[in-house]
Amino acid sequence: MRDAKDALVLLLAGGIGSRLNLLVGHRAKPAVPFGGLYRIIDFSLSNVMNSGMTRVGVLTQYKPLSLMRHIGTGEAWDFTGRTRGVKILPPRTGEKDSDWYRGTADAIRQNVDFIKANPSQQVILLSGDHIYNMDFDAMLEYHLHKKADVTIGMMVVPKSEIHQFGAGIVDAENRIIEWEEKPEVPRTNLASMGIYVFDTEYLLRVLARDKQEVDFGMHIIPRGIEEDRVFAYPFYGYWRDVGTIQSYWQTNMDIMRPDSGITPEEWGIRPNTETDGRAMDRGPARFISGCTVQSSMISAGSLVEGTVINSVLSPGVQVKKGAIVRDSVLFEDCVVEEGAVVDLCICDKRVRVGAGTIVGQGDNMQQVNHAFPKHLYTGITLVGKEAQLAPGMTIGRNCIVCSGYSQSDVLILNDGESL
């Protein structure tokens, strides 16, 4: 009988995630804070823990330091002990840029020695940048029942979004018979979740077959569908790729909606508060007489004297008297001074919004950012880490205030402009 703990997990966490703009300017995408208490990668790591798997390799590449600090020894997810553990796997860099990971399959190929050093019957490949709750042990059982070489987690998405994903056409037995990678004109609405189960021997064989096959979606999977047994594992729960500013903001907003399907605490998602210091040594949140809080998540150590509506406040955020925070996500230790307004914004760590400053001014929610029209187009404004916004500033929609910005003069920033 197969033991669930036998499966080896490889978690891909090296992508740049450039569509998240300044949120990934100094950290890897999986290390981006989420939902007040978490980082994005906490969801994948917690799913692995809750599914009974105990051996994990995390493949890093782009700006990995904060991610490595966050994972630490893996103790937060019970990955410590004689037969359990989490190992950081950076690229085997040499003298050429090509020595960095060239694609998902190339990343796994560069770590074949780790696979061989951790014998297993199956290898589970995951992405570290999705928000979801999934039982991988159930997917393993499905994989074995189908006698599959490869099983891919898949779910139905609107056809208008399928161009962002690999898409599969299946037969009556859920065997994948055709594959389209990010199709412009889709013939199916069944999208890959970036979750794979491979028989280990099969995976090692296909990785050794052709070194030019550097990506699973572009090379390994299409060839496997033609020659081997590749099945779709249907998933019906909450799953979001938070790779864009809009999807990241919307998924944070979903936490406050009781009918959205995302419930991190019920899912058993664990943050690593000790390594990050996010909730360590912080007292409870304080709500001063006269404040207003509606449909919001307020983390430990926060102080609310003003108004907070439909927003996520990470640990240590202060909203001073007369200030308004609406439809926004504020990372740790942000301060919104008296009379300031933060409306439809994402503020990175330790941002200070001066008294009377307005961030998110105007009604034109569709004004596109001139520098990043594909990043900001729904009215959301980004404020970078440790930016200091002087009193009396006015910042419009779809704007970007760069990390570390400091300005002592009154400034009007119009729709779609950047500092």
**pLDDT higher at 97 or 286:** 286
**Domain match, 327 and 236 both:** no
Joined tokens for residue 281: 């040594």
Phi, psi of 58 (to 5 degrees): -110, 115
| pTM given for the model | 0.92
Q: Are residues 243 and 318 in the same domain?
A: no
At 95 the pLDDT is 47
| 416 Ramachandran zone, left/alpha/beta (phi>0; psi -120 to 50) | left
> Band of the pLDDT at 65, cuts 50, 70, 90?
confident
- The answer to whether 187 and 269 are in contact (CB under 8 A) is no
Regarding whether 348 and 385 lie in a shared domain, the answer is yes
Average pLDDT over residues 288-303: 96
**Does one domain contain both 409 and 307?**
yes
Q: Do residue 288 and residue 228 come from a single domain?
A: no
* Position 259 in a domain: no
312-313/303-304 β-pairing: unpaired
Same domain, 166 and 231: yes
Residue 1 predicted with pLDDT over 60: no
100 domain-assigned: yes
- Cα(46)–Cα(76) distance, integer angstroms: 9
Q: Are residues 235 and 350 in the same domain?
A: no
Listed residues 254, 272, 306: the one ending a domain: 254
Q: Which domain holds residue 171?
A: 4-254
The span from the CA of 36 to the CA of 334, in Å, is: 12
Cα atoms in the Cβ-side hemisphere of radius 13 Å centred on 146: 25
How many folded domains does the chain comprise?
A: 2
The answer to the question of residue 266 being in a domain is no
Beta-bridged to residue 152, according to DSSP, are 196, 232
Residue 413 pLDDT exceeds 80: no
Is residue 186 within 8 Å of 165, Cβ to Cβ? no
Residue 264 lies in a domain: no
| Last-in-domain residue among 202, 237, 254 | 254
Residues 6+ apart with CB under 8 A from 97: none
Q: Where residue 325 falls among pLDDT bands split at 50, 70, 90? A: very high
CB 150 within 8 A of CB 198: yes
Quote the pLDDT of residue 370: 81
Answer yes or no: do 208 and 340 share one domain. Answer: no
pLDDT tens by residue, 356-396? 999 998 876 667 788 888 899 999 999 999 999 999 999 99
| Token pair listed for 40 | 């994005």
Q: To the nearest whole number, what is the mean pLDDT of the chain?
A: 90
**Confidence class for position 16, pLDDT limits 50, 70, 90:** confident
201 in a domain, yes or no? Answer: yes
**What CATH number corresponds to the domain at position 114?**
3.90.550.10
Query: The tokens of 266 are what?
Result: 């019920």
| Residues 235 and 299 both lie in one domain | no
123 occurs within a structural domain = yes
